Amino acid sequence: MITPTLEETQSDLRYLKLLAEKFPNIQSASTEVINLEAILSLPKGTEHFLSDLHGEVNAFEHVLRNASGVIRRKADEQFGDTLTDQEKRELCALIYYPEERLAIIHQENRNLKEWYPTMLRRTIEIARAVSSKYTRSKVRKQLPQEFAYIIEELMHQDTIEDDKEQYYNAIIQTIIDTNRSDEFLIAICNLIHRLTIDILHIVGDIYDRGPGACHIMETLSHLHDYDIQWGNHDIEWMGAAAGNQALIASVLRISIRYANVETLEEGYSINLLPLATLAIDVYGDDPCTIWQTKDFENNPRLKRSAQLMAKMHKCISIMEFKLAGQIIKRHPEWGMDDRLFLHLINKEKGTITIDGKEYELLDKNLPSLDPNDPYKLCPGEEQLMQQLVHSFRSSEKLQKHLRMLYQHGSLFLVRNNCLLYHAAIPLNDDGSFMELEVDGKKVKGKALMERVDGVIRRAYFGTRNLKRKQNALDYMLYLWCGPGSPLYNKDKMTTFERYFIADESLYKESKGAYFKLGNNPEICANILKEFGLDPEKSRIINGHVPVRTLKGESPVRAGGMRLVIDGGFSKAYHATTGIAGYTLIYNSHGLELVQHNQFQSKEEVISSGTDIHSRIQLAEFKNHRMLVRDTDRGQELIEQVNNLQKLLLAYHSGLIKEKS
């Protein structure tokens, strides 16, 4: 604690008078100092880091409920050999899914007179263990109001005194006798969930691929503390929700391609009937062979509507190429003219000429393409896009989730000696920071990331200068697929080539220098320094590129200075990665990187207690336990203590008069 001087106190007198409104006398100010000093001496809260969820809501929610294996470890620590493995599994299954597990218990006709007191005591024991690092005040704020007093009494049980033991037994028996056991167990299990994960960091890509992105966002909306570092797929959806027509088409194309229309139709009430109607009208007799959705042959539901989905896929893809072309032509400064293809097509011959070489098109039926103005939407497409823009802009839930992404999100985050961003910091081949023009100004490194963050916010919230807002909205497309984008960072996105040309040599997308140099400790050290961090005790955490463990890749890069935590949550990547995601856990003892196997089903966990099999990939413990004072939040609290000390000095010296 730093003792302030009278001179410092006098110079801050204006601020201290404002502070005195909240702490009007010596007693209230000194009490707050004592409270803050106590908090600073507590162990650091547990942070969990996840990346590239891609709509896999069931796996995501289970990882939250089991805290990446932490709750099972707490059960092992608390009960050791006094419980069998099956008893621990049953206890954990109850904690993970209390409502569903209780329903099964009732169906099994258990002896509830024995089961209830046993499970009440065991869950309270786990709650006590996970709450031990927090102040009673913080725990109290997390308690369900209905049972707050009872839970607090039971969690601070003193078993040494016989009278107290009888008191606690009486409380538990009363819970049972009044038929509140189920509600109480649900409340205590939900409390365990809230206390096990203090802060959740999502390092990008909540959207696309899997069907549950909207449900993930709803789950996040109920969490007490989380942040999001935007990924390229998040930016795609954010741009679409803000009204970027090319990104609206891109969202629909990817959703249909991966048979993920539930997010659009059921999650966000986006009406796809106008698209289906236009697709049938334009491509009625077209088999659309190359436009079949992924894995439709193995999905009976998809098989029935496969032909319609293929037509819709083709219809929206052609519209996307037109709309993206319009935006790229508006912005020659992006240097993306090589992504303009429609004017290179010879409709009569069914070919396209690229760099002087002629290629046969895999699909030659392009009735909506006007050779004289190939990037212009035909009247039916124009009307459809107006309807889609209205649907995206008026979807109440989508707009709610968009505001959440802005409120809790950013392009990058510096927190507790960790630098978080989804994909890359643009670099030159020599490892220096790449200078790019963003919103009329050339910037690089941290300044680039800050300026891009500002443009992303203007795309949705900008109101004063409509032209600047439109340019920002256009820029969302560049962030989705532009070569210098810190969220993409490849030389090109070869979507058109993959659809229309058989020559696979045209499919290659070369990664930026960051991905070639990011395993170099010197490069990572320079990045950390650029963001004001000490390379000796800091780390870069990002995702974006799945770690292919089947090919021997490790998530630990640059001698441990960079951690890539995209382990393939999405089922689409399981065959590539060989695993099903990572969780990075940063608690008061140090870092653990947990590798997850595939999540089978919620029902299996509930019925048999089977859990995700996870193993620790990296364990790095500190020689001293980190306290709150060692964190960024601790530095804020220390500053508050210093200001309160100045206020106390002002009271004692008579500079400010106390109030009763």
What is the tens place of the pLDDT at every residue in 376-408?
999 999 999 999 999 999 999 999 999 999 999
Percent of the chain with pLDDT over 90: 60
Instruction: Give the model's pLDDT for residue 341.
Output: 97
Which helix (H) or strand (E) segment holds residue 13: the answer is helix 13-22
CB within 8 A of 558, min separation 6: which ones? 518, 519, 520, 521, 523, 524, 540
Q: What is the pLDDT of residues 5-26, one digit of tens each?
A: 777 777 788 889 899 999 999 9
Q: What is the pLDDT of residues 335-384, one digit of tens each?
A: 999 999 999 999 999 999 999 999 999 999 999 999 999 999 999 999 99
Q: What is the pLDDT of residues 100-111, one digit of tens each?
A: 999 988 888 778
- Which three-class secondary structure state does DSSP give residue 583? strand
Instruction: Give the model's pLDDT for residue 463.
Output: 77
Residues 125 and 76 in one domain: yes
Enter the DSSP assignment of 66: H
What band does 150 get if pLDDT is binned at 50, 70 and 90?
confident
CB within 8 A of 504, min separation 6: which ones? none
What band does 250 get if pLDDT is binned at 50, 70 and 90?
very high
Instruction: Give the model's pLDDT for residue 540.
Output: 96
Which of 238-252, 297-311, 327-341, 519-533 has the least mean pLDDT?
A: 297-311
Residues 619 and 642 in one domain: no
What band does 417 get if pLDDT is binned at 50, 70 and 90?
very high
Residues 58 and 141 in one domain: yes
Which of 102-106, 332-336, 496-500 has the least mean pLDDT?
A: 102-106
Residues 85 and 14 in one domain: no
Separation CA 429–CA 126 (nearest Å): 52
Tally Cβ neighbours within 10 Å of residue 98: 23
Instruction: Give the model's pLDDT for residue 389.
Output: 97
Assigned domain for 470 exists: no
Residues 21 and 115 in one domain: no
Separation CA 592–CA 13 (nearest Å): 46
Assigned domain for 30 exists: yes
Assigned domain for 131 exists: yes
Instruction: Give the model's pLDDT for residue 298.
Output: 58
Return the closest-CA partner of residue 176 out of 150, 140, 153.
Answer: 150
Residue pair 308/276 in contact (Cβ under 8 Å)? The answer is: yes
Total structural domains within the chain: 2
What band does 521 get if pLDDT is binned at 50, 70 and 90?
very high
Structural domain boundaries, residue 116: 47-203+543-626
What band does 131 get if pLDDT is binned at 50, 70 and 90?
confident
Rounded average pLDDT over 219-244: 95
Rounded average pLDDT over 564-593: 77
What band does 502 get if pLDDT is binned at 50, 70 and 90?
very high
DSSP lists the bridge partners of residue 345 as 352
To the nearest whole number, what is the mean pLDDT of the chain?
89
pTM: 0.91
Check pLDDT > 80 for residue 255: yes
Burial of 653 by CB count in 10 Å (0-12 exposed, 13-18 middle, 19+ buried)?
exposed
Rounded average pLDDT over 97-123: 88
Residues 32 and 166 in one domain: no
Residues 198 and 76 in one domain: yes
Residues 186 and 54 in one domain: yes
Instruction: Give the model's pLDDT for residue 604.
Output: 77
Assigned domain for 257 exists: no
Assigned domain for 500 exists: no
What band does 299 get if pLDDT is binned at 50, 70 and 90?
low
Assigned domain for 507 exists: no
Residues 158 and 23 in one domain: no
Assigned domain for 294 exists: no
Instruction: Give the model's pLDDT for residue 602.
Output: 74
- Which three-class secondary structure state does DSSP give residue 434? coil
Rounded average pLDDT over 13-40: 91
Instruction: Give the model's pLDDT for residue 295.
Output: 67
Assigned domain for 429 exists: no
Question: 135 vs 592, which has greater pLDDT?
Answer: 592
CB within 8 A of 524, min separation 6: which ones? 518, 535, 540, 557, 558, 561, 562
Return the closest-CA partner of residue 416 out of 582, 566, 586.
Answer: 586
Residues 12 and 145 in one domain: no
Rounded average pLDDT over 434-438: 95
Residues 122 and 193 in one domain: yes
Residues 70 and 156 in one domain: yes
